[in-house]
Structure 1
Amino acid sequence: MNQETLTNCPICTSTHFSTHLVCKDYLISQSDFTIQVCNQCGFRFTNPRPDSASIGAYYQSADYVSHNDSGGGLINKVYRLVRQYTLQQKLKLINSLQTKPGKVLDVGCGTGLFLETCQKGGWSINGVEPDANARTVATSRLKIQIKADIDQVVDGEFDLLTMWHVLEHVPDLTETLKKLRSRVRVGGTLLIAVPNSDSLDAHHFQNYWAAYDVPRHLSHFTPPTLKKLVNEGGFIFKEMHPMYFDAFYISMLSTKYRDGRTNWLESIYQGLRSNIRARRTGNYSSLIYVFQKL
């Protein structure tokens, strides 16, 4: 594997970092990866990390749920049961942001389930998915051509851009925000969902917290660092929404990584504890951020 090392913080360009945690890749390689924290702005990122030629190998697993519609064990069966409900909640959210359904571009659309839900809800849909297998499934499901890269999307008048647990995988954050901004209309909406490494479940599980997911997750956002990044990309922050089920799903995976098997009782307890604490702090396990293009 070839690695690359960042010498500047991707958000504030500082050159002064400290070690936040050392985490293991439990999905593929069983190798350790370091998460560093910027001493100036607090942004956390995997460093060093696999380069662009090497990173693809770390996604080749039947347990990687966003690229597969079947398989992945009991935890992912539970995930898929809940997913039908959460898809409807996502549709409800995006409908609340518009007076009527418009044009949506889902970046990192996986196998196309969210776009299918939007399509049925009256939205005009478009998608980007770099993984070839997932892209094939999405194209077949939606009967539209899913693009492999956002550079292939020429339309710049989308009402809504969505990234559901995608931005944490992106190697060049600033360049990606520029591309997103150029593809949404003035006044249009950018919706980003990412894990929150300041959640109570993250603090509880530490290096076993499954949402670190190194090295696939290159960035490990908190509300201040995500808002700073996107605001500087030409968007204004509007509102934030919790993803309640993520605390339970991540706790299930985290106990499995720590103990070798899922501790269902602890997972439910820690998921509840995280969500209850977050009602006061806002630090849910995963958060949906809504931004508007200036």
Structure 2
Amino acid sequence: MTRTPPQPLTQIECPLCGNPESFDVMRVQDWLVTQNWFTLMECPRCTGRFIQPFPREDELPAYYQSEAYISHTDTKKGLINRLYRLARKETLRSKRRRIEKASGLKKGKLLDIGAATGHFLHTMQKAGWDVCGVEPDESARKRAKDHFGLTLFPQEDLKSLTENTFDVITLWHVLEHIHDLHGTLEQIKRLLKPSGILVVAVPNYLSYDARYYGKHWAAWDPPRHLYHFTPEAMKQLMASHKLRITSQKRMPLDSFYVSLLSEKIHKHNSPIRGLTVGKISWLKSLFQPEKCSSITYFGRVES
């Protein structure tokens, strides 16, 4: 899938596929922490998008220091966060069922990268899985320890884990955050058992809610989200690391959550409109699942 750029190509290399040229799509803002603006670029070869300027790795932690960043804080403040917590129980059950179906296992060894405060790992542990988690944020690791007794490891410890160890490795809305994208995928490939599966969930900018909200789409989330994927971009990225996408599934509730968040960014901030846009996006994804607001990809190491 190759797209014709609407603007002239510039000499900025795509961090997903290495294509030396990309084009400017729009300006997007960090509405959460700094209010700084970033340029969203698109690669005409793989269709992936990425932000410019691309922050240094040591600059990123400051952009997560907000009580509104729910995956690290578990805050209960505000309607959207309360709805998120209400939906989380069913979402966690759905994740467990999908993993068991894709892996063919009821129990096994699982690594969650970007484990946040540990809710998913706790769910899998209660179901009998042997779990391990990696989380770069120290405060999130502490919450996982305090609430669930989970000992999560910092990101740099990924390299010290034993190869061919895990039946399942998961990244739930994490891949778009990882600065060393290609190095991490190589580590994942090393850690998976030959029969193991990789599970990656990411936002999808081909969705109706992304088109509707434009620059106000909450899932742009710069610069915490460094990259943005389409099914084609994910396929090319995984293939470059000899990982094969075997299936992909919709994350239907995400259209509602992202639309409500987008309304907070939008100057009119109408929750009713957010729910309406979320429902339209959800309905459209029933017939075009490749255009769901978020997609979970299941993959294996190529034999």
- TM-score range, shorter-chain basis? over 0.9
SS at match of 2:57: coil
Q: Which residue of structure 2 aligns with residue 130 of structure 1?
A: 136
The match for 1:50 among 52, 55, 61 is 55
User: What letter corresponds to residue 61 of structure 1 in structure 2?
Assistant: S
**2:132 aligned counterpart, secondary structure:** strand
Shift of 1:54: 1.2
Alpha-carbon distance in structure 1 between the residues aligned to 2:66 and 2:81: 13
Q: CA deviation at 1:260?
A: 5.4
- Which secondary structure does the structure 2 equivalent of 1:231 belong to? helix
Where does residue 26 of structure 2 map in the other structure? 21
- Residues 67 and 161 from structure 1, CA distance in 2 versus in 1: closer, same or farther, beyond 3 angstroms? same
Taking the aligned partners of 1:12 and 1:70, their CA distance within structure 2 comes to 37
TM-aligned CA deviation for residue 95 of structure 1? 1.4
Taking the aligned partners of 1:61 and 1:145, their CA distance within structure 2 comes to 23
C-alpha distance in structure 2 between counterparts of 1:158 and 1:291, whole Å: 14
Does 89-98 or 181-190 show the bigger shift?
Answer: 89-98
Q: Is the 8 A contact 1:25 1:214 kept in 2?
A: yes
Write the deviation string for residues 169-199 of structure 1: whole angstroms up to 9, x where unpaired.
0112211110100001002100000000111
Q: Is the 8 A contact 2:107 2:128 kept in 1?
A: yes
In the other structure, the counterpart of 1:238 is 246
Of 84, 88, 93, 2:98 maps to: 93
Name the structure 1 match of 2:286.
279
Give, as a single letter, the amino acid of the residue that structure 2 aligns with 1:219.
Y
State the Cα distance separating 1:241 from its structure 2 match.
Answer: 0.9
Runs of 4+, deviation exceeding 3 Å? none
1:264 pairs with one of 267, 271, 274: 271
Deviates more, 1:203-212 or 1:15-24: 15-24
| Secondary structure in 2 matching 1:50 | coil
Helix, strand or coil: the match of 1:53? Answer: helix
Distance, in Å, in 1 between the alignment partners of 2:191 and 2:233 is 23
Give, as a single letter, the amino acid of the residue that structure 2 aligns with 1:27: L
SS at match of 2:50: strand
Partner of 2:67: 62
Identity %: 37
Per the alignment, residue 3 of structure 1 pairs with none
1:111-260 equivalences under 5 Å are 111-149=117-155, 150-259=158-267
- State the distance in 2 between where 1:156 and 1:131 align: 26
1:291 aligns with 2:299: yes
Would the alpha carbon gap of residues 56 and 260 (structure 1) be closer, same or farther in structure 2, given more than 3 Å must change? farther
Q: What amino acid is the match of 1:213?
A: D
Distance of 2:148 and 2:188 partners within structure 1: 22
CA 1:127 to 1:39, structure 2 compared with 1: closer, same or farther past 3 Å?
Answer: same
Q: Is the 8 A contact 1:75 1:252 kept in 2?
A: yes
Alignment RMSD (CA, Å) = 1.4
Residue 280 of structure 1 deviates from its aligned partner by: 2.0
Question: Structure 2: 5+ residue runs without aligned partners?
Answer: 1-10
Per the TM alignment, residue 141 of structure 1 is displaced from its structure 2 partner at its CA by: 3.4
1:183-235, CA deviations, whole angstroms, 9 ceiling, x for partnerless residues? 01002100000000111110110000000001100001111101110122121
- Under a length normalisation based on structure 1, what TM-score does the superposition of the two structures give? 0.94
Unaligned runs of 5+ in 1: 1-5
Letter paired with 1:32: W
Letter in structure 1 aligned against 2:25: H
- Secondary structure at the aligned position of 2:211 is classed as helix
Deviates further, 27-36 or 153-162: 153-162
Q: How many residues align?
A: 288
Q: Larger deviation: 125-134 or 83-92?
A: 83-92
1:107 to 101, 109, 113: 113
Whole-angstrom CA distance in 2 between matches of 1:127 and 1:74: 29
After TM superposition, the score normalised by the length of structure 2 is 0.91
CA distance in 2, matches of 1:40, 1:200: 22
* Residue 78 (1) aligns with residue 86 (2): no
